[in-house]
Amino acid sequence: MTLVETNPAVGEEDRPVNLWRDAWHRLKRNKLAIFGLGIVVLLAFVAIFGPYLTPHDFLSQDLQARNQAPSLAHLFGTDDLGRDVFSRVVYGTRTAFLVAIVVTAIALLIGTTLGAVAGFFGDPYDRVIMWLTDMTMSVPNLLLVVVINASLKTPIARWMETQYMATLNPFYRETIWIDFFLVFGSMAMISWPPYARLVRAQVLSIRSRPYITAAMALGLSNRIIMMRYVVPNALGPLIVSVSAGLGTAMVLESAFSFLGVGVNPPTPSWGNMISDGLRVWQHHPHLLAAPAAVLGLASVAFSFLGDGLNDALNPRGTK
């Protein structure tokens, strides 16, 4: 057929790979990003399998061997109750990932929904949602968390107690759930606004692109346009900010633990280990150094990975 273009515009457009594979190729060339990715993968592995592999139980106390310096038997030494710090750091990794993933997921869900609605449907939703976002951001984070904790912890604990009395279900005896619930909830409450803003800005910019008009001209529903045209195009920057957000959430959890509103002992978290360690660091520096170093490493790794993804997902960024 004469219609066939035998020689479609050669060169720059003839790339036989798709967007994600392209991004992966670009990411592989970025050493810092690969370093970050390696650390993140390692920590994730530790979080999942670590607690089964450690030589000691993170709770078992050995009062004969308290506050020992690092040795072969106890790689990171022992704490004031004679618990193995290495095992606790390993278990803390699980806590850190759990907090980071759950908090980021909740924040992302809230932020993405609100941001997308604000950007896509405009006023009056936009005005209300942006007002809410600004409000939330203008209250100091730690203040908000302390208030949430102070006002909710006791009532919830009391409610759990009555539930236990009524049902004798041991689930209600686990006060650990209250901690997690409050920590997750309050951290998510302060973490969603940046996602809402980012998604809104993305949606606003994408909404005016010709392919959105083209999709509307096809008679597709708003929901489909949103899910298949707007959101996937907004994903790049969102992935980047999620990666950075995971690291931030880990640091945030530590800050909360330090203030006594984080995950509580005996569940090890890097945060409560750091906060315990801070009290005795002049005498037993390893109690501070071990969790702090791992937290620092995780935070740096997520930030490197985020930056790398940012470059990799933006084809125009690299020639």
- Closest C-alpha to 245, from 314, 309, 316, 201: 309
Q: Respond yes or no on whether the N-terminal peptide bond of residue 266 is cis (omega within 30° of 0).
A: yes
Which of residues 177 and 211 has its CB atom nearest to another protein in the complex? Answer: 211
Q: How far is the CB of 62 from another protein (least distance, A)?
A: 56
Which of residues 227 and 293 has its CB atom nearest to another protein in the complex? Answer: 227
Which of residues 15 and 158 has its CB atom nearest to another protein in the complex? Answer: 15
Q: How far is the CB of 302 from another protein (least distance, A)?
A: 25
Interface with another protein by CB under 8 A: which residues?
A: 1-5, 8-9, 13-16, 18-19, 122, 208-211, 213-221, 224, 228-229, 232-233, 235
- Closest C-alpha to 273, from 1, 18, 12, 91: 91
Q: How far is the CB of 132 from another protein (least distance, A)?
A: 23
How is residue 142 written in tokens? Answer: 């730690």
Within 209-284, residue ranges assigned H as helices are 210-217, 222-224, 231-258, 270-279
Rounded Cα–Cα distance for residues 187 and 208 (Å)? 34
Rounded Cα–Cα distance for residues 28 and 15 (Å)? 18
Which of residues 135 and 216 has its CB atom nearest to another protein in the complex? Answer: 216
Rounded Cα–Cα distance for residues 270 and 104 (Å)? 18
Q: How far is the CB of 313 from another protein (least distance, A)?
A: 11
Which of residues 153 and 207 has its CB atom nearest to another protein in the complex? Answer: 207
Q: How far is the CB of 222 from another protein (least distance, A)?
A: 10
